[in-house]
Structure 1
Amino acid sequence: MAGQRWDLTALLNAADPNAPAVERHLWMVRLLEWLRSVPAEPAAEVASPVPAPVPATVELASPPAAEPQPQAAPGNSPTPWPLRRLRHLLNVLDRNPEHRERISVLLQRSMAGLDATGLLADFGFSPRQGFFSELAERLRLATLPGTPQTQDLGELFLLLFEDDEAETAWIEAIDDQTLHRTLALFVPDADARPWRAVMVESIQLLASQFRASGLSAEMRQRMDPALRTDRPFHQVVQAAEGLRASLRELQHDADNAQAMQALAQQAHYLRAVLAACLTAADSVRGHLDDYGISVDLVFQINQLRGRAERMEALLACLMGNDAAPDLRRLLAELVRAGIERRGIGKLFTRHYALLARKVTERSADTGEHYITRDSAEYRDMLRMAAGGGAVIGLTTMVKFVLTALALPAFWAGFSAGTNYAISFVVIYLMHWTVATKQPAMTAPSLARRLEGISSSDAALQRFVDEVAHLLRSQFAGIVGNLSAVAPVVLGLQILSWLTFGAPLIGQAQAHYALHSTSLLGPTALYAAFTGVLLFASSLIAGWAENWFVFHRLDSAIAWNPRFIQRLGAARALRWSRWWRDNIAGVTANVSLGMMLGLVPALAGIFGLPIEVRHVTLSTGQIFAALGTLGWPLLNEPGFWWCIAGIPITGLLNLGVSFALAFRLAMVSQGLKLRDRGRIYAALRQRWREAPHSFFKPSKPPG
């Protein structure tokens, strides 16, 4: 049957309870594959003649498609195909006791040789506490094949069930009668619940891991002390031990009502202790909200909650009146755990959600300073942007000087990045601004205004107002930057002509600047890529501030004895406050400058034709070229193609960075824009009624 799907006849003939363990495991994998497989023509599926040793009288000719399919209730989906095949298999085995006996012995021997705690206690959980070690483990599971040659039921479980949500769907659809018939193949007497011992052992293992995680230094230091007074994480292991002792008494005398009552009391006690532990663990999230997010800590909290839920599921199987529903839920939960265990994207989505929220919240706090809401703030924005444009003019000329040095690729990129970084930091410290940095900072602030727009017209109006304020601020920033950078660059060129009789840059550099910034080239593509870097700088800034706050570096600067000895108490406190207030701004500017310089250089080393196009820097280069080539350049079409590229570059710089930042803000805060039509209609109405509000502030009434 190599290279082909096994049919039922072949599976029944291949079932050998005396085969080596790895062959029995492989048979189980093939059985699950047969359950999931759907014939191309179900109605035409006919069992092939049964070869020896199956007697010729064995009836295998009733395919699942021939069985009357249960009619789905209104609104319910039809019976899943794997469930129909499972029922067919059970019917065939009921008609053929010899086959039933062989398969039952095979399954029982296989389960007896497997470590069930590997599935019940370990499966779905990381063996280590770190997020990145778990990422490496999931990469291994996703790239390396598994083997049925194992004694760990958890490892075999990954081969038995596929990484597909459809697996849980058909398992949850199994009715109690079919489940009891299936259980009878694995255990002679399901009512005796022989799995209780291994489940209690698994609960003990889970409790030990649960306590170790809950009492780790990172968790313990951030819990509410009042919730640790009763030491719930110490009690959880004691409760699990008590559960095991009660089970031993019940196993000695299955009819002992007192022992059964003691087991129920221990289960209730364990549930109460778990609830207290989770309450204490949840208090860590409040600390993280106030003092910064740690991905590893968020990961530990989720692992802690997952182990508690697994213990709850095992307790339900131990104590329930009917084992079938609880076992079905447990099996479905294990399949989900296997799907998530192999999902790298889900790991990032879950464990970076809080970090992304904290990054965008900190960016939103910074972004409030970049939004103008009245005429005074608008004039301040023009002034701040003009100051930033003047500095960028000087930066442009320094860039040409560095380029003339003809440094090796990496050092040329490093020197250019350092030039940009110093300029951006100077602009920041002078409380000026660079327009292209605004969108990535202001988008999270805008996302805050999305709350309540679905049910409130007032909230919708506030959101439209904020969009107008934001666009107006961007417009003022660009106008201020460009209105200053061009005169500064031309002024420096004219001064050089008057002083030295020559421009600051040569004609070759001038022609290259015009060629590289022309709209006829890849300027638009590079401008969009620059928007990605602008967004990345805001993300880095938010992460750096979160890291600074989480590790309490402001407190260390203020109170560390060495700092106090060298700086003095008053100066150390001032430094602490300054870095706490400015770590995000400094990091954003330094990272943006270094990326603008280094990313093209590193890409060139690998042969990737990637460059950056920043609207203010590009404008400075164009006017520097004009200062070298003279006024006749105004008659050249190529010059005007460069001028035409300025608004396109600005639009893509702003648009891409804003779109990425706004999307992250919505995702991280759990915001869903369900009423897009109302928003677009409100924006169109504002454009028709007051288009000037998007470009300049309205005059106050009266």
Structure 2
Amino acid sequence: MRALVPILEDIAASPDKRSADALLEIIASLRPRELEAPGAATQRLRAMISVLQTRPHLAEGLRSYLSEVFATRVQRSLFADLGILTNDSIVGAITKRLVAKILPPAHDDTYLQDLFAALVREARDQHWITELPEQVIVELLRVIGFGSARTANERRMDGEMIEALRILSFRLASIGLEPDFLRYDSDAASRESPFVAQTDEVQALSAAAFAALADPTLPWPDASHLDVLLDQCEKHIARIRKLARQGGASIALTYDAQRAGQTIDRMRTLVRLAAPDSSEAQQQRKLAFFRELLQHESEKNSVRAVLVRVTDLLALQVTEHASRTGEHYVASNAAEQSQLFRAAAGAGLIVAFMAIIKIFSAKAHLPPLWEAVAFSLNYGLGFIVVHLFHFTIATKQPAMTAALIAATMDEAKDGKPPLDRLETLIIDVLRSQFIAILGNVIVAFAVCLGIGFAWPYLFGQPIVDATKANSLLHDLRPVMSMAIPHAAVAGVCLFLAGLISGYYDNKCVYARIPQRIRQIPRLRRWLGESRLNRMAGYIENNLGALMGNFLFGCMLGCMGTIGFLLGLPLDIRHVTFGAANFAYGITALGFDVPLYLLVSCGVGVAAIGLTNLLVSFSLALYTAMKSRKVRFGYSRQLFGRVLRHIAQRPHDLLVAPKPIRQPPGQ
């Protein structure tokens, strides 16, 4: 207190000064020092309250000083801007924040927002302010005298909140008339639109509020009608988001929807805080608003904060499409199980030949760039062929089925998710995944084994020499090589491929690509109306899968070259290609392979497959749950139910259960 008392005495001597230096000195005096015990700032604040209680003239001087400091600065920008996304594009918002990190904006002492930023900088680690007990801050405000008799300066602060409300009202109307909004809600341009109607209501409310501030005998205006209009605006935004799930969403639409929601929340806050209410509840609301502004000020130049705000909803659009695709990867009965195995077997056959092309591309010893192009085209075009024949790559399932599981978790009723349905879905997913991997690996291994065995009889030499064969087998050993880390890299690529598929599915719908294809005159002349419609329909249903498969192949093909250029041990290991290389390696050595090496490579292939699945599934499930804001508190209960199901009916992991037949007449 030796530092605080002289500051308070100086303030009491001239309480009408407008400089914020004394306030910055108070913050610096309260700020905890390094290595101090937790609660040091609270102890200092309690001591300051004791001094103010014993010396009323200091409390009165501090109140007059704070009122003067705050009221003589323009406050509306603080209330209307801080914590709300700007009308820049998302790229512009990120660029502005990056520039501000390097070159901070100039300080203008006439604006309260700049003073607030200076206070946060003086506080340095501002978390200690938010950790101050609420009752202590309320006691400080009571001792100072805030919330009792309202001074002219405090009424001016309320007037600034009303001005901020008017600014936000016009901004909300502007957002509601954005082209992306009108695309999904054409009625928003009419006078009946709540985005337009709320501006008239705010104008009437603000006029009555200014009159009540000038003459306290007049009643404060009722804001219930404005609240109704803001509710309608929120319903319009929710409706637009719902329609965007079917019609696709853009970054601009997602950004504007987020900005509109923030604007409505701030308008409601300002309406409540500007009312002449001296109750303790009102003081607590103002304190909560102050802490909220403090948090926003600390994140003002955070690129991560704006990305998290905007990308969550866009990620929801992407995972929404992925969850629909995931339904095709789950076999819930014997017929679907048989179809899934055949699709996986077909993919294994194609992968066997892709592995041959990869081996001969590597034998060509092309320059790094062209080698990456050759590998990428082999993988990318091969995966597209797999898709064109309606075959299934097993490791692509987790990115889709994880989104489906998250969507099922989100279907909570009375706060409890459908655990029975989740249990059945997880068993179906595990069985489907096992069947798909079995089809991929067995067929790829068997076909490569046959090709590798027949190759010397057809061409006079093994498909690879002994050195390359030993290298192929060594790369599969789980402990003696980088097989597991490289399998994790492939798992990340699988996860990204799922996001890419969902992104292009969303983009195809939002950009109306099929309709635009149908409007190309040359294609109509060349293909005819019927073929053009079939092509547009195919693109509508398959663009995401085609792009996801091709770009996944490019990621796999380029990873080794990227590692070479960066000097990092980057590469990929995929379970199906691992099984193919395993077969080519042992046939090239004439099946003269030690038993320990066979066992080690077999375990390595299994470990690669498990790593592929776990990494891609974990990332996809986390993204899907985060985008939906799912907080699943039943993990232990669900895990226990799944384990009991497996213990009681382990055959369900291998064979789909037969449907229960209903007795006749039911």
Which residue of 572, 586, 591 maps to 1:626?
Answer: 586
CA distance in 1, matches of 2:523, 2:50: 77
Q: Does 1:34 align with 2:34?
A: no
TM-score normalized by the length of structure 1 = 0.82
The structural deviation recorded for 1:439 is 1.8
1:8 paired to 2:4: yes
State the partner residue of 2:244: 288
Is 1:332 paired with 2:288?
yes
Q: What's 1:76 paired with?
A: none
2:214 is equivalent to residue 218 of structure 1? no
Structure 1's unaligned 5+ residue stretches are 43-63, 66-78
**Is the partner of 2:475 in helix, strand or coil?**
helix
The change in CA–CA distance for 1:15 and 1:466 in structure 2 (over 3 A counts) is same
Describe the shift of the 1:385–1:172 C-alpha distance in structure 2 as closer, same or farther (beyond 3 A): same
Q: 1:108 to 1:383 in 2, by over 3 A?
A: closer
SS at match of 2:221: helix
Provide the C-alpha distance between the structure 1 equivalents of 2:36 and 2:434, rounded to a whole number of angstroms.
64
Classify the secondary structure of the residue corresponding to 1:517.
coil
Matches of 2:44 and 2:285 in 1, distance apart?
17
Structure 2 partner of 1:527: 487
Structure 2 distance, partners of 1:318, 1:673, is: 38
Compared with structure 1, are the counterparts of its residues 240 and 406 closer, same or farther at alpha carbon in structure 2 (3 Å cutoff)?
same
Listed one character per residue, the Cα deviations across residues 507-545 of structure 1 (whole Å, up to 9, x for unaligned) are 333232222222221211211221121111111111221
**Cα distance in 2, alignment partners of residues 329 and 171 from structure 1:** 15
Q: CA deviation at 1:164?
A: 5.7
Task: Work out which of the residue numbers 493, 499, 518 in structure 1 matches 2:458.
Answer: 499
Equivalent in the alignment of 2:50: 88
The correspondence for 1:264, drawn from 212, 215, 221, is 221
- Match of 2:388? 429
- CA shift, 1:131, in A, is 3.1
Whole-angstrom CA distance in 2 between matches of 1:237 and 1:700: 59
Q: Is the CA contact (8 Å cut-off) linking 1:416 and 1:597 kept in structure 2?
A: yes
Contact 1:211-1:237 within 8 A present in 2 as well: yes
Amino acid at match of 1:654: L
CA shift for structure 1 position 469: 2.2
Structure 2 partner of 1:415: 374
Quote the offset at 1:547 in angstroms. 1.8
Aligned to 2:544: 584
Deviation (angstroms), 1:104: 5.9
Deviation at 1:435, TM superposition (A): 1.4
Q: Describe the superposition over 1:62-97 as per-residue Cα deviations: whole angstroms up to 9, x where unpaired.
A: xx99xxxxxxxxxxxxx9657635523533652558
Q: Please say if residues 412 and 418 of structure 2, whose CA atoms lie closer than 8 Å, have aligned partners that are also in contact.
A: yes
Superposition map of 1:121-520 within 5 A: 121-138=80-97, 150-161=109-120, 167-168=129-130, 170=132, 172-173=134-135, 178-179=140-141, 181-182=143-144, 189=151, 193-223=155-185, 225=187, 228-246=190-208, 254=215, 260-261=218-219, 264=221, 267=223, 270-322=226-278, 325-326=281-282, 328-340=284-296, 342=299, 346-450=305-409, 459-519=418-478, 520=480
- Secondary structure of the 2:518 match is helix
Residue 653 of structure 1 and its aligned partner are, at CA, apart by 1.2
| Alpha-carbon distance between aligned partners in 1 of 2:255 and 2:342, rounded to the nearest angstrom | 46
Q: Measured at CA, do residues 269 and 308 of structure 1 come closer, stay the same or move farther in structure 2, by a change above 3 Å? A: same
Q: Distance in 1 between matches of 2:213 and 2:648?
A: 81
Aligned CA distance change for structure 1 residues 453 and 278 (closer, same or farther; 3 Å): closer
CA 171–117 in structure 1, closer or farther in 2 if over 3 Å, else same: farther
Matched, 1:680 2:636: no
The CA RMSD over aligned residues, in Å, is 3.9
Aligned residue for 2:192, secondary structure, equals coil
* Rounded Cα–Cα distance in structure 2 between residues aligned with 1:574 and 1:28: 71
Write out per-residue CA displacement over residues 352-374 of structure 1, whole angstroms, 9 at most, x where no aligned residue.
33333332232222122222223
- Cα distance change on mapping 1:311 and 1:13 into 2, 3 Å: same
Q: Give the structure 1 partner of residue 664 of structure 2.
A: none
Letter in 2 for 1:7: A
Distance 1:276 1:700 in 2: 46
Matches within 5 A, 1:568-647: 568-632=528-592, 634-635=593-594, 637-647=596-606
In the aligned structure 2, how far is the partner of 1:659 from the partner of 1:625? 32
Counterpart AA for 2:328: H
Matched position secondary structure for 1:608 = coil
Output the CA distance in 2 between the equivalents of 1:184 and 1:459. 51
Q: What whole-Å deviation, never above 9, does each CA across 1:182-231 have from its counterpart, x for those lacking one?
A: 36699982597233432332222222222222222222222262794514
Equivalent residue for 1:56? none
Q: Deviations over 1:564-593 (max 9, x none)?
A: 455443333222211111122112211211
Conserved? CA contact 2:403–2:621, under 8 Å: yes
Q: Distance in 1 between matches of 2:638 and 2:430?
A: 16
Contact residue 123 and residue 337 of structure 1 kept, 8 A: yes
CA spacing shift, 1:10–1:515, aligned 2, 3 Å? farther
Q: Relative to 1, partners in 2 of residues 1:87 and 1:6: Cα closer, same or farther, differing over 3 Å?
A: closer
CA distance in 2, matches of 1:477, 1:268: 59
Larger Rg: 1
Distance verdict in 2 for CA 1:250–1:530, change over 3 Å? closer
C-alpha distance after superposition, 1:252-294 (max 9, x if no partner): 7x26x5xx35x626x5554454444444333322222321233
User: Contact 2:67 / 2:154 at 8 angstroms: preserved in 1?
Assistant: no
Counterpart contact for 2:74–2:110, Cα < 8 Å: yes
Report the Cα distance in structure 2 between the residues aligned to 1:198 and 1:90, rounded to whole angstroms. Answer: 29
Aligned equivalents of 1:277, 1:451: Cα separation in 2 = 25
Amino acid in structure 2 at the alignment position of 1:287: L
2:500 is aligned with 1:540: yes
Residues 72-111 of structure 1 aligned to structure 2 (within 5 Å)? 81=43, 84-85=46-47, 87-88=49-50, 90-91=52-53, 93-96=55-58, 101=61, 107=66, 110-111=69-70
* C-alpha displacement of 1:484: 1.9
Q: Report the alpha carbon displacement of residue 612 of structure 1 after superposing the two structures with TM.
A: 0.6
> Following the alignment from structure 2 to structure 1, what is the Cα–Cα distance between the partners of residues 330 and 191?
47
SS in 2 for 1:693: helix
Offset at residue 348 of structure 1 (A): 4.2
The one-letter code of the counterpart of 1:292 is G
Verify the 8 A CA contact 1:490 1:624 in the aligned structure 2. Answer: yes
Q: 1:248 to 1:470 in 2, by over 3 A?
A: closer
Contact 1:146 1:155 in 2 (8 A): no
Q: CA deviation at 1:393?
A: 0.8
Letter of the aligned partner of 2:269 in structure 1?
A
Between 189-198 and 657-666, the greater mean CA deviation after superposition: 189-198
Write the deviation string for residues 119-158 of structure 1: whole angstroms up to 9, x where unpaired. 1222222332433433444556677778866433113213
SS at 1:673's partner residue? coil
CA distance in structure 2 between the aligned counterparts of 1:171 and 1:637, rounded to whole angstroms: 65
Q: TM-score, normalised by structure 2?
A: 0.86
368-377 or 316-325, which deviates more: 316-325
Distance in structure 2 (CA, Å) of the matches to 1:461 and 1:106: 63
Q: Is the 8 A contact 2:502 2:544 kept in 1?
A: yes
Contact 1:435 1:478 in 2 (8 A): yes
Structure 2 unmatched runs, 5+: 662-666
